[in-house]
């Protein structure tokens, strides 16, 4: 499983030793990513979780896909990574809330906000996961600019890792999906039960 230790919470379903891997590259402010996230949560994840048909056979990894043509994409992905570090068990629930509320982070709604104000909005969103005061404070600290003029924030290294991973795998847009490390271009954000059932039946061989 290609994940640096600090990003293990990006494994959102399945066991780390599962033989098959579904990597889902999502951008928090991409409407098609929102559609795919709902299919993953409602259709695929239950099949992979405990008691599901493919328990122990598939793991699902969330891959942060920053798309810089969306102005707030970087800020939202920093927030997701900060949650992964301070409250790993809340990462997927935060991601779903953010994807479902992504309209608030589109270009026009955020055009008059400063980066600090956008991060404050994201902290309020984190509260909706049931995060404690200590977790929210830790989240906020991770998203504070460092002392140097161009040093980024405390999750910048994790953000760099996710961007490099996408680039080396030739992933340019969201949503994109890898099955066992190979781009599965046939997978669509519009897939429902029938398509996912057929795909998994054909692909899972153990």
CATH code (residue 187): 3.40.30.10
Q: Cβ(153)–Cβ(142) under 8 Å? A: yes
Cβ atoms 63, 165 nearer than 8 A:
yes
Q: How many domains does the chain have?
A: 1
- Tens of pLDDT, residue by residue, the chain (206 residues): 689 999 999 999 999 999 999 999 999 999 999 999 999 999 999 999 999 999 999 999 999 999 999 999 999 999 999 999 999 999 999 999 999 999 999 999 999 999 999 999 999 999 999 999 999 999 999 999 988 899 999 999 999 999 999 999 999 999 999 999 999 999 999 999 999 999 999 999 86
Q: pTM score, two decimals?
A: 0.95
Domain that holds residue 75: 5-203
The pLDDT of residue 155 is 97
Burial of 8-32, coded b for 16+ CB within 10 Å and e otherwise, reads ebbbbbbeeebebbbbbbbbbbbee
């Amino acid at each position: 499983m290609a994940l640096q230790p600090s990003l293990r919470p990006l494994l959102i379903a399945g066991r780390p030793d599962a033989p098959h891997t579904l990597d889902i590259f999502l951008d928090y402010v991409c409407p098609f990513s929102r559609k795919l996230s709902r299919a993953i949560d409602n259709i695929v994840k239950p099949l992979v979780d405990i008691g599901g048909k493919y328990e122990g056979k598939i793991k699902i990894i969330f891959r942060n896909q920053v798309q810089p043509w969306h102005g707030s994409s970087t800020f939202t992905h920093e927030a997701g990574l900060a949650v992964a570090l301070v409250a790993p068990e809340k990462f997927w629930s935060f991601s779903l809330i953010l994807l479902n509320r992504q309209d608030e982070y589109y270009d026009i709604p955020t055009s008059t906000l400063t980066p600090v104000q956008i991060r404050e909005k994201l902290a309020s969103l984190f509260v909706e996961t049931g995060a404690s005061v200590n977790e929210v404070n830790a989240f906020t600290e991770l998203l504070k600019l460092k002392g140097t003029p161009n040093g980024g924030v405390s999750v910048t290294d994790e953000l760099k890792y996710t961007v490099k991973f996408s680039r080396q795998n030739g992933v340019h847009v969201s949503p994109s999906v890898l099955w066992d490390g190979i781009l599965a271009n046939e997978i669509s954000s519009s897939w429902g039960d029938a398509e996912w059932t057929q795909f998994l039946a054909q692909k899972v061989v153990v």
